[in-house]
């Protein structure tokens, strides 16, 4: 007896996703890629303009970091009046900020130059961590204000830590450097800006 083979059932056609369904996903991926490029490579964050350049510093008062001392002398906080009458370099930092640690030797060098005062804004930090950070790396600041909730940093237009401002003796923000200072940017950009403001502290 001859065995008859039953025909195989026709295989079901493969379903294909319509191009229109994939189009939003493709567009989203393209836009996300463009945004990432702009964020990481396309724009140098230190060149982002600040709306506060040429404007008076905020009317904030910050208490000092509790129990922070320098040579056994309590380091005070600051208010707007403390930044009047002399050029000030205002640095926003935190103990948990790795780039802050990297730029710190440059701040130490800056403090040794004189002719201006160094002001620190300790951003969203615990006092014991701030004390440990400055105790280990050195304290370049004449005054350190504790911005434990980040409110004052918002008033200063801070994007993130670290950031460094130069304020003239009239209390006007003249320059802002976003991100950590590197040896190159410190020498070629920040110091020339500071020298220019020191030579003309009221313009």
User: pTM score, two decimals?
Assistant: 0.76
Using alpha carbons, list the distances in angstroms from residue 94 to 36, 71, 75, 82, 177.
26, 21, 16, 22, 16
User: What average pLDDT is seen over the chain?
Assistant: 85
User: How many CA atoms does the CB half-sphere of 131 hold within 13 Å?
Assistant: 14
Note the pLDDT tens digit of each residue in 109-139.
999 998 999 999 999 999 999 999 999 999 9
- Residue found under tokens 């670290």: 162
What average pLDDT score do residues 192-202 get?
91
d(CA 96, CA 151): 18
> Under 8 Å CB-to-CB from 73, ≥6 apart: which residues?
none
d(CA 151, CA 171): 19
Note the pLDDT tens digit of each residue in 81-100.
999 999 999 999 999 999 99
CB 99 within 8 A of CB 179: yes
Say what the pLDDT of residue 23 is: 63
Domain 50-199 fold is: Glutaredoxin (3.40.30)
Note the pLDDT tens digit of each residue in 18-39.
656 666 666 666 555 544 444 4
Pull the structure tokens for residue 144. Answer: 């350190």
């Amino acid at each position: 007896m001859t065995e008859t083979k039953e025909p195989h059932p026709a295989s079901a056609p493969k379903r294909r996703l319509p191009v229109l369904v994939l189009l939003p996903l493709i567009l989203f991926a393209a836009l996300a890629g463009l945004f990432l490029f702009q964020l990481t490579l396309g724009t140098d964050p230190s060149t982002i303009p600040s709306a506060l350049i040429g404007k008076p510093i905020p009317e904030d008062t910050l208490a000092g970091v509790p129990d922070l001392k320098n040579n056994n002398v309590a380091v005070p906080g600051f208010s707007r009046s403390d930044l009047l009458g002399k050029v000030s370099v205002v640095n926003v930092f935190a103990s948990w900020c790795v780039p802050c640690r990297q730029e710190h030797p440059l701040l130490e060098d800056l403090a040794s130059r004189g002719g201006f005062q160094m002001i620190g804004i300790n951003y969203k930090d615990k006092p014991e961590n701030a004390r440990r950070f400055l105790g280990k790396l050195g304290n370049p600041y004449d005054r350190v204000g504790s911005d434990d909730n980040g409110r004052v940093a918002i008033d200063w237009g801070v994007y993130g830590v670290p950031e460094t401002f130069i304020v003239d003796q009239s209390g006007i923000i003249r320059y802002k450097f976003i991100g950590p200072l590197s040896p190159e940017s410190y020498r070629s950009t920040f110091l020339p800006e500071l020298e220019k403001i020191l030579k003309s502290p009221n313009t």
